[in-house]
Structure 1
């Protein structure tokens, strides 16, 4: 398994990327600087930097982020829902992206609840369309952590038009990272979400 991050050095505006080289706490890790394309034809350099000395970016910059609804079996059962016949999804626009340790901010003029949801993010590494289920893995670059933040009271503020995109795409509502993990075994993965040291979500 490899873990990839994007970063800027102190006092630099240049976006760079690299591969983590240590299996220790994230803040103590080092990154081997790479050049080229994160998703294709990249090469390692001889330069290794300490993660704690860098300004972390989101591990990639997607053109768009789709969220699936009713896709976790345990949640579907607990809420008495049924598995949909085809994917049900919403859109999070790229203004909401937030890197590791960024601050989620309440939208101006909104006094309602702001909720979090820990999710597994699937990073698509190739342009694709009409991909078969059997070929899907060929287009997946890796996986990352996502905090799908929502202002739920905006969704049905207008009873004639559910505003999913607005409620989920406010600035800072799309935190993800800090890294993208490649070549992982999904059967061994588990998503756990903690809030102030208390585990609030735990699902496989």
Structure 2
């Protein structure tokens, strides 16, 4: 099932995408769904970021080849950092390039996990019980600021630096999915989620030992090798097998 968040111009709703239409649901997508009876052609609505999380927890260097391209080896334990909720945008929205502060902004295509219930200290064996579904993500990063600061908050935290979408796929086995990032149509990253150093159950166990996760919180599972710079006017597409494609254009920040 594909759960989307959308606007008709008269308000925002969640809905279930069925072929070329979207069936609106009442309230939120957590728990049993209640349909309103309203149905809209997909062409007539605007898809928004599929969720607005209280927090985005991201995992660094979780593909071995990416860790090596960044000058190191895969870490023995997951490396976690956060992105603010204000960085989240949806597919079709623009990534704003902060030219006054950064001279290099990179794409990082990733599989994102959306949490479906309040949870903490979740054993890996029960991780699936707390997952609502999966979506595509782009962990946009000001690479020069990341190197200069020695930590990642500013480089990862700009407004618009966390595109998510186009929807949440709830019926998916995430263990071996193709993930492809294209820059202006050219393939830049290509890998499978089976190559993750630390798998999704392990990540959920690790993160929830540290903090409580709330419904709608998002875990970014890491990016494959092939990260690189984006320029103003570029278009980035992150495609994940079984989900779809997240597409965003880069514009100058006002």
TM class by shorter-chain length? Answer: 0.7 to 0.9
Work out whether residues 107 and 171 of structure 1, in 8 Å CA contact, stay in contact via their aligned partners in 2. Answer: no
Alignment partner of 1:166 out of 154, 158, 169: 154
User: Gaps (5+ residues) in structure 2?
Assistant: 193-254
Give the Cα separation in 2 of the matches to 1:38 and 1:58. Answer: 14
CA RMSD of aligned residues (A): 1.8
Change (3 A) 1:75 1:156: closer
Q: 2:111 aligns with which of 105, 120, 123?
A: 120
Displacement of 1:108? 5.2
TM-superposed deviation, 1:192: 0.7
1:176 equivalent in structure 2: 164
- The CA deviation at 1:175 is 0.5
Structure 1 unpaired stretches of 5+: 23-28
SS at match of 2:106: coil
- Paired residue secondary structure (1:62): coil
- Identify if the C-alpha distance between structure 1 residues 89 and 57 changes in structure 2 by more than 3 Å, giving closer, same or farther: same
- 1:47-86 mapped onto 2 (5 Å cutoff): 47-76=38-67, 81-86=72-77
Q: CA deviation at 1:107?
A: 1.6
Divergent runs of 4+, >3 A: 73-83
Q: Distance in 2 between matches of 1:180 and 1:144?
A: 5
CA shift for structure 1 position 57: 1.4
Q: How big is the shift at 1:80?
A: 7.1
Matched, 1:138 2:129: yes
Counterpart check, 1:5 vs 2:4: yes
Asked if 1:156 corresponds to 2:118, the answer is no
1:195 matched residue in structure 2 = 183
Aligned partners of 1:64 and 1:3: how far apart in 2? Answer: 22
Question: Secondary structure, in 3 states, of the residue corresponding to 1:58?
Answer: coil
